[in-house]
Amino acid sequence: MKEKIIPLSKISSLPSSPGVYIFYGKRNSRLYIGKAVNLKERVKSHFKTPSYKDNLFIDEVKKIGFIELPSEIEALFVESQLIKKLKPKFNVLFRDDKNYFFVGFTKEDWPRVFLTHQTKLKDKKIKKAEFVGPFVEGTAIKKALKILRKIFPFRSCKTLPKKPCLFYQLSRCPGVCIFERELKEKPQLKKQIEKRKKEYKRDIRSLKLILKGKRKKLLEDLKKEMEKLAKKEEFERAAKIRDQIQSLEEIFSHKTLLLSPSSLLQIEREKEKNIGEILMKNLKLKNIPKKIEAFDVSNIGEKEMVGSMVTFELKNENEYRPQKEGYRRFKIKTVKKQNDIACLKEIIKRRFHHPEWEFPDLLFVDGGKAQLNTAKKTLDELKIEIPIISLAKKRGLVFTSYSEKPLSLDKFENQAKMVILNLSREAHRFAISYHRLLRKKRLFSEK
């Protein structure tokens, strides 16, 4: 499993095979890790049709690392281990206790396997458990477990039923409830049941190895055990392991078993339903902001001072999308010396001299308390009432026009945090792009 690294300019040279990719920023910092059925198409999609999350880091990408893998199911497990090991900046940022998935294994005689968002045990019936993850896509890990359960049947019930369930009938569970009942009724079967328990724990260990991306080690272990059992003439158990080996090799040879790359955005949206309500709650607003306008200023010294306005609208209660028709660029006219506060006042005043542009439900300004006060004073002078927020990124504080106390961004729910950061990022990007354009034009005109 060897990583290859290419410059951003050679993105078209990526293979069209399954694998894991890593976006690198300055000084080889790891920004984001993802998986793909088709590495080339998936990586290109980040740049061609970026989601609002992509916009947070896409401009920082300098290099692309990738690891080719035989199948998407293996890419799923390798992606999980790399995120856990390397902790890329934006994977960590996108994750919270209610986002990524973990596969839990209880510490019982017959371990139970379950899927969860949290690794902190809240269920009183579970005294101890081991967790494998995180997994980014819930649908993918559920499908993977469904496939693997055919090879390594496991118990999933919290309380053992009195009668065997459907999973037992389908050979997806070893029938723990039967063994426990037989042990009470027929103590003489204890040795046989202990033997089955040992086999079950071996299957659970095998499942853990696969989920941890250690397929090769598992296959080597299974082959060694099969050979030992064959030498002992325990042919029935050896045949069972042989079948497991063949099944594993078959599923890992298939290119696509889980999700297509295009489904990732849909999953992200499903996880972020009612984002308007979440943002309203975190910002302590009275109403859901359906339209947000964000402002930023860009300059170097006193030349080519510019401002930007970007617009985001709530779509179907699950995502704030940039609305490019609501983007505006301002070349500073009244401010002669470098003064970000004065520039901000000018662009806000100029924006609201256009009543034909539909007013937003929320105003965002990049900066701290001073920027917020400037925006509020400007709107007060214009007799316009719109709630305003500002972000002091270094301090991680959100200032509001309707409260004296700032809000801590770290305490926001992940979805709300991402909206705030994306507003800041996009407004800054748009202002910088305009500033560079004007600077470029001036340099060419001077020649």
pLDDT tens track for 387-409: 999 998 777 889 999 988 899 88
Mean pLDDT across the chain, nearest whole number?
82
Residue 256 clears pLDDT 70, i.e. is over it:
no
Burial 139-174 (b: 16+ CB within 10 A, else e): ebbebbbeebbebbbbbeeeeeeeeebebbeeebbb
CATH superfamily of 4-94: GIY-YIG endonuclease (3.40.1440.10)
Q: What angle is formed at CA 442 by the lines to CA 438 and CA 443, rounded to 5 degrees?
A: 120
Decide if 442 contacts 303 (C-beta within 8 A). yes
Give the Cα separation of 63 and 85 in Å (integer): 20
What would the mean pLDDT of 66-80 be, rounded to a whole number?
Answer: 87
Q: Does residue 446 register a pLDDT over 80?
A: no
Domain layout of the chain by residue ranges = 4-94, 101-253, 272-446
CA distance 164 to 42: 44
- Residue holding tokens 């696509």? 256
Q: What does the pLDDT read at residue 400?
A: 94
Region 252-272 average pLDDT: 48
Q: What share of the chain is helix, strand, coil (3-state, %, to 5)?
A: 50, 20, 30
Give per-residue pLDDT as tens, 266-279: 434 444 458 899 99
What's the pTM value of the predicted model, to 2 decimals?
0.49
The class level of CATH for 272-446 reads alpha beta
> Which of 4-18, 220-234, 311-325 tops mean pLDDT?
4-18
Between the alpha carbon of residue 218 and those of residues 2, 54, 203, 221, 274, the distances in Å are 19, 36, 11, 5, 42
Q: Which residue has the higher pLDDT, 295 or 243?
A: 295
CA distance 366 to 352: 18
Q: 96 versus 287: which is more confidently predicted?
A: 287
Residue 144 contacts residue 76 (beta carbons within 8 Å) = yes
Q: What is the pLDDT of residue 238?
A: 81
Tell me, what's the pLDDT at 388?
Answer: 95
| pLDDT at residue 194 in the model | 82
pLDDT, one tens digit per residue, over 147-170 is 888 888 998 888 887 777 778 777
Residues whose CB falls within 8 Å of the CB of residue 318, separated by 6 or more in sequence, listed in order: 269, 270, 272, 273, 274, 275
Q: pLDDT tens across 19-38, in order?
A: 999 999 998 899 999 998 88
Would you place residue 9 in the very low, low, confident or very high pLDDT band (cuts 50, 70, 90)? Answer: confident
Q: Is the peptide bond before 134 cis (omega within 30 degrees of 0)?
A: yes
* Predicted pLDDT at 272: 46
Q: What are the tens digits of pLDDT across the range 92-143?
A: 766 654 568 889 999 888 899 998 887 776 666 666 888 988 888 788 888 8
